[in-house]
Structure 1
Amino acid sequence: MGNTLGRVSLRNVAAHKLRLALTVLAVVLGTAFLSGALMFTNMLSSTFDSAVDTALDDVDAVVRPAEGEGGIDNATFDAIRAEDGVERVNVFADVPVVVAKQDEVAIQTQLGTSRLMPYYGREEAVGDTPVLIDGSAPTAPGEVAINANGARHYGIAMREKLIVVDKDGRNELTVAGLYDDPLTQETSLVLRVGERGFLDAYTDGSTVPALTVGGGPEVVDRLRAQFPDLQVRAGTEVAEEISQQIRDALSFVSYFLVAFGLVGLLVGTFLIANTFSMIVAQRTREFALLRALGAARGQITRSVAFESALVGLIGSALGVAGGVGLVALIRAGMNSYGMALPEAGTGLSTRAVVVPIVVGTVVTVLSALAPARRAGQVRPVEAMRSGEASAPQPLRWRTVAGLALVALGVGAATYAMCWVEGATGRRAALVGVAALAAICGLFLAGPALSLPVVPPLGRVIGAPFGAVGKLASTNTRRNPRRTATTAFALMLGIALVTVIGMLGASMKRSVDDVATTEVSADFVLSGPQNGVFPLPEDLPERLTSVRGVGETVSYTQAPITVDGEFSYQLGPVGLTDVLRGDPADLISLDMVEGNSSLTGSTVIAPEEIARQRGWRVGDTLQVAGPTGAAAEATLGGLFRGSNILQSFVVSDEVAAATGARGAGRILMIGVNNDGSVDEAQLRENLEDAVRHDIVVQVRSTGDMTGEVSAMIDQMLFILYALLSLAVVIAVLGIVNTLTLSVIERRQEIGMLRAVGTQRRQIRTMITLESVQMTVYGAALGVLLGLGLGWAFLTVLEAKGLTTIVVPWPLIMAVLAGSFLVGLLAAVWPAGRAARTPPLDAIAE
């Protein structure tokens, strides 16, 4: 009998191809994302592994300076070269630079990089060396070789003169050669200069950053013995360490994509469970007949479980194939955004195939478990019934449990919002618990909650359509479980969209608030790449002669301690904020006590930090510079928390007294208009004054907020693109539910047609049912998203998200879109219902 039921299951699956396709598609979408995430991460890892392996291929040893030292002195460099067994020694360095043509306009490398390193020919190189495809090696001073794909992308020609700016100055280099580097993307520029030119222009003249050494495996032990103060490691060990760091950094991308894949599977789970529930209800007479013929309960249950396993296996296998397509799509998208990746295969691996297939199959089987058990409980006597045997099941205990979980979720979210003294991480975790409880609660209580909402909503929507509208409203009331489960899948997707929309809108408003309320300067001058390129030391003095420039404030960070502590401690390195001028001319500070003026030997501090250290206005503080020189400073004022100045700040005079003036880097200069010119003219004057510096950017507060807003919009675009997966699966669920409902109600629809109901009226009825479910699901999703979003953003208030914004245009668009989704989802099922032959349906 077991083999017979297995054959029955296979024939049943084959006989209902549409039902099979709709269910399989839900599994495909979820597993495709899961598989694609794993493949994409594999591809990125192999790309960077190849780059690292190539850079350190055949490198026997990597020599770095002792811990805390800035470099290896030239005497040690020469001693290593002269060491027995050492065949070749190369300078190992990678300097970030900004490149410009003769027009002094910096080449914007978008999301690529521009960097410079030493060049070695095949005879001198330790390990691999790039292959020149045009020109000659950059051996003479002032010559440079560039990756050919980058030169082609940015229109750099042979013998062209380039301006190359690093953090210490600017040099003019002539393009002597182009080399092939398949692992460097075309949006990046990798410049290589001869060793002598590198040592002269890109080191301090007395030290080198690091070395690579060739001389056989034994050279590592020999160098460790001779130079115990240096860090000497095997090239393979360093390559593995760098590769691991890259893999760790990429793990975030993997987790991010996998999370969305699991969201897709979660939404798909409800679709699959709903589908199998309807299938079991439709096949009641079939199961009863099998029971009457001697099939046991367990055999019926196993046959349905077997069908679900088959669906899961087929869908997951197709999902893996879809993952390959998804990776190709991501690559194409990155290419269009100027982030082309080197060719590194599809990232297909055993893990990327096995994990999605196992997860997709298990999720499908678990989703069908409850319907399979119900199938096994069908009694033989059900075979004698003429209609659907699925009697409505009571909702009382399910509803009570659901409402209790919703109450728990509301309580947890409220506590997280009110727990002001709690750590942000713990409060966010509480909101996560609240979200899980609320989602589970709404799933359980959904059928009961839909009864007082969906039918009245259906009557309102269906009012213009008369009797057909009333009939559609009645149909949604007949099976609240099905209505609620179908709407629930859409609710999840819409809730996520709402939360992300609130996060994005609040982030943009918070950034705008910081720029407009905290930055008081008319223009801010800063360097690219977050301070990697500090501003020229002479820039503040040069600005005083620019027409229209009034007050200027220079913001610097230098290695200065106040009462033995730095403003910011970054591992062994410490830095403290230094301001030259009145901070009020750059930043709007809310002073609690004293004033913000940093004239003379003065320090100002946030009131919270002053309270922790027991400082009071007027106290004398000990300040020390990098050479040990000390000075005394007076605490001149306390200010409330600032997003820009987050710790104590010392005056430029104090920095000079401790010998730290010039030891820091100017990160930002605020400039105010003296009133003699308008804003546009002042910007033009400033841009002309800094054009020669290449690295200085002139921005207004509007420019700064626009740049950050554009980044947030790009991030939201990616998030919405990923979230659309959940919405697509939910829409397919509605199509699936309606189609199966049409099949299940074939006799009923045939009877309606027999008594005179026209085809367009049948289509209208099914469409109205679809709209009711989608609008209900969207409205519930918006309410859930608003609640969770508000709680989450309140918790994040300590991280700078001080203003919570509800994106009403997005919400209105979602609700209007749900109406449109309902119309589109009903097109196929409504057409199928309208084509039902009346007499055939009644005869069945």
Structure 2
Amino acid sequence: MSSRTLARSELARRPGQHLPSLLVTALGAAFGAALLAVSSMIGDYAATTAIGGSAGVERMLTVLSILFLGIAVFVAGVVTTNTFSTIIAGRVHEIALARVLGASARDLRRSVATEGAVVGLLGSVLGVGVGWAVAALVGVIGRASGVALPVPEVLDPVLAVPLVASALTTWLASWLGGARVLTVTPMQALGSAEEAPYDRLSRRPVRTGLAVLAVAAGAVGLGAGVMMGQSSSSGVLVAFLGGVLSFIGVIGLSRLIIPPVLRVIGTLLGRGAPARLGAANAMRHPERSARSTVGIVIGVTLITTFVVAASTARTVLFATTAGAPEEYVEEASRIIDNVTLVFAGLIGFAVVIALVGLVNTLTLGVMQRRREIGLLRAVGFTRGQVRRMITAESAQGAIAATAIGVLLGVVYGWSGALALLGSVSSGAVWPTVPLAFVAAVVVVTAAVALLAALIPSRRATRVTPVAALAVD
């Protein structure tokens, strides 16, 4: 059986598994299409109204749009990779049976990649259409307000950027997420699908070594950017690349870093059986725990980075403008606040994508744990206890993600501010972390934990013990 035939079979038999990936791809494509189309509209408007430097304005908007599209695509790629990894983890028994019947591991992986290509293409086309509609709506609102923004072109070549980027990212994510297919042996058809335990994950020297190397190289880049920032603002580019590289390394190490953090937090959530089981599951299924948490880590890190960088920049500004006219200081502070709000709003879209990934991973995890949940019900667990266990897992994931994300964001934001403004600073600059922001993150995290657990916990409590234990 060819990989295309296998892919069509899986898509037709279980299309619901790919709906979250389709949504994530569509969100990323819509975000990028709307940004690029609106930037093009504003550039055209600036040109027709003879605004000075209109070409520069359009270039700046396009660069910023591509930057934030890249961030959204990166987050969507991580989420989609985790989604496909979770799907494959639940198919191990079926994949092993296919191996028994003669299918090769490479054909099966190509089948998964074909599923990703189909999902990516459909999601990208849908997302670009929605993004164009949003841009058209912005144009209508602008014209109603007296700003003669042009109507976005339906076949604008710039829309090909989010279309191709989102489709390729989803395909690549499915290829990476399907890597586990290569490790499935025909003998596993005789057993159940189990993910690697924590101690086995720690014995993957090549993958761990590459991740550690990325973190180390990224840290060197951050340090070099900060040093360059003492004499020129161009150091921020080096610091940015170093931050990206180190963060990729952190994601690579997430399966080793996150589970112990989850377990510690889980022990603080209570002594009851649901809380203890939730904490134990973090170490029993470290890959699943990392997959359900890393998306939120990315979102919190991004927002914290921008907020800390802006707050630290404001601190530097106040320190270097002592004695300057008050109007100048207030105007500069207002500009920083407005830029921070705009950037936080754009980054917030990436956080929405990460939240979709959290809900999806938890839901797929519950679907794959029906036997486990059925056994718990059979030995006396009530529906309320099952619901509290899943809520505890979601809560500990959200709290751990917040702690890790805030810590990383403070480091990245502080480094970025120093790399950008180190040359105008007159002394030591410490990171400025707004307490109101930290409180807001904690509140939002609590809400996310509760909302993310609603759908999977409802699924878990609907299944009777007999039906769950009868699942093949």
Q: TM-score scaled to structure 1, two decimals?
A: 0.52
- Give the letter for the 1:832 counterpart: R
Identify the residue that residue 257 of structure 1 maps to in structure 2: 65
Alpha-carbon distance, 1:822 to partner: 1.3
Q: Secondary structure at the match of 1:756?
A: coil
CA contact (8 A) 1:486 1:737 kept: yes
Q: Secondary structure at the match of 2:33?
A: helix
In 2: Cα distance, 1:247 partner to 1:418 partner? 33
Identify the residue that residue 320 of structure 1 maps to in structure 2: 128
CA contact (8 A) 1:42 1:348 kept: no
Alpha-carbon distance, 1:810 to partner: 0.9
CA contact (8 A) 2:37 2:152 kept: yes
CA contact (8 A) 1:39 1:346 kept: yes
Identify the residue that residue 759 of structure 1 maps to in structure 2: 383
Give matches, 1:603-642, under 5 Å: none
In 1: Cα distance, 2:311 partner to 2:140 partner? 28
Identify the residue that residue 429 of structure 1 maps to in structure 2: 237
Identify the residue that residue 448 of structure 1 maps to in structure 2: 256
Give matches, 1:466-545, under 5 Å: 466-513=272-319, 517-519=322-324
Identify the residue that residue 348 of structure 1 maps to in structure 2: 154
1:820 to 432, 438, 447: 447
Identify the residue that residue 836 of structure 1 maps to in structure 2: 463
Give matches, 1:524-603, under 5 Å: none
Identity of aligned residues (%): 30
Alpha-carbon distance, 1:374 to partner: 2.7
Alpha-carbon distance, 1:51 to partner: 5.5
CA contact (8 A) 1:41 1:347 kept: no
1:23-73 Cα distance to aligned partner (Å, 9 max, x none): 111111111122222322333344455567xxxxxxxxxxxxxxxxxxxxx
Instruction: Specify whether residues 251 and 797 from structure 1 end up closer, same or farther in structure 2 by C-alpha distance, changes over 3 A only.
Output: closer
Identify the residue that residue 23 of structure 1 maps to in structure 2: 21
Give matches, 1:768-787, under 5 Å: 768-787=392-411
- Give the letter for the 1:506 counterpart: T
In 2: Cα distance, 1:759 partner to 1:363 partner? 39
1:509-565 Cα distance to aligned partner (Å, 9 max, x none): 4444566x2137xxxxxxxxxxxxxxxxxxxxxxxxxxxxxxxxxxxxxxxxxxxxx
2:42 to 28, 44, 50: 44
Identify the residue that residue 283 of structure 1 maps to in structure 2: 91
2:438 to 786, 811, 828: 811
Identify the residue that residue 175 of structure 2 maps to in structure 1: 369
Instruction: Specify whether residues 433 and 319 from structure 1 end up closer, same or farther in structure 2 by C-alpha distance, changes over 3 A only.
Output: same
CA contact (8 A) 2:40 2:62 kept: no
CA contact (8 A) 1:382 1:389 kept: no
- Give the letter for the 2:455 counterpart: W
- Give the letter for the 1:318 counterpart: L
Which structure is larger by alpha-carbon Rg, 1 or 2? Answer: 1
CA contact (8 A) 2:28 2:72 kept: yes
Identify the residue that residue 196 of structure 1 maps to in structure 2: none
Structure whose residues are more often strand by fraction: 1
2:215 to 399, 406, 411: 406
Tell me how many residue pairs correspond in the alignment. 464
Moved more, 321-330 or 430-439: 321-330
Identify the residue that residue 745 of structure 1 maps to in structure 2: 369
Alpha-carbon distance, 1:332 to partner: 6.7
CA contact (8 A) 1:402 1:444 kept: yes
In 2: Cα distance, 1:389 partner to 1:799 partner? 54
Q: Secondary structure at the match of 2:184?
A: coil
Q: Secondary structure at the match of 2:222?
A: helix
1:310 to 113, 118, 137: 118
CA contact (8 A) 1:402 1:440 kept: yes
In 1: Cα distance, 2:8 partner to 2:209 partner? 40
Q: Secondary structure at the match of 1:345?
A: coil
Alpha-carbon distance, 1:836 to partner: 1.7
Q: Secondary structure at the match of 1:452?
A: helix
Give matches, 1:681-700, under 5 Å: none
1:729 is the counterpart of 2:356: no
1:711 is the counterpart of 2:335: yes
Alpha-carbon distance, 1:471 to partner: 0.3
- Give the letter for the 1:274 counterpart: N
Alpha-carbon distance, 1:418 to partner: 4.4
Instruction: Specify whether residues 467 and 495 from structure 1 end up closer, same or farther in structure 2 by C-alpha distance, changes over 3 A only.
Output: same
In 2: Cα distance, 1:371 partner to 1:414 partner? 33
* Greater relative contact order (Cα < 8 A, sep 6+): 2
Q: Secondary structure at the match of 1:424?
A: coil
CA contact (8 A) 1:40 1:347 kept: no
Aligned-residue CA RMSD in angstroms?
2.6
- Give the letter for the 1:823 counterpart: L
In 2: Cα distance, 1:347 partner to 1:40 partner? 11
Instruction: Specify whether residues 260 and 801 from structure 1 end up closer, same or farther in structure 2 by C-alpha distance, changes over 3 A only.
Output: farther
CA contact (8 A) 2:226 2:236 kept: no
Q: Secondary structure at the match of 1:453?
A: helix
CA contact (8 A) 2:358 2:452 kept: yes
Identify the residue that residue 665 of structure 1 maps to in structure 2: none
- Give the letter for the 2:415 counterpart: A
- Give the letter for the 2:81 counterpart: A
In 2: Cα distance, 1:310 partner to 1:735 partner? 22
Instruction: Specify whether residues 714 and 365 from structure 1 end up closer, same or farther in structure 2 by C-alpha distance, changes over 3 A only.
Output: same
- Give the letter for the 1:716 counterpart: T
CA contact (8 A) 1:401 1:445 kept: no
Q: Secondary structure at the match of 2:270?
A: helix
In 1: Cα distance, 2:109 partner to 2:349 partner? 31
Structure whose residues are more often helix by fraction: 2
Identify the residue that residue 162 of structure 1 maps to in structure 2: none
Instruction: Specify whether residues 332 and 411 from structure 1 end up closer, same or farther in structure 2 by C-alpha distance, changes over 3 A only.
Output: same
1:720 to 330, 339, 344: 344
Query: What runs of 5+ residues in structure 2 fail to find an aligned partner?
Result: none
Alpha-carbon distance, 1:454 to partner: 1.2
- Give the letter for the 1:355 counterpart: V
CA contact (8 A) 1:30 1:262 kept: no
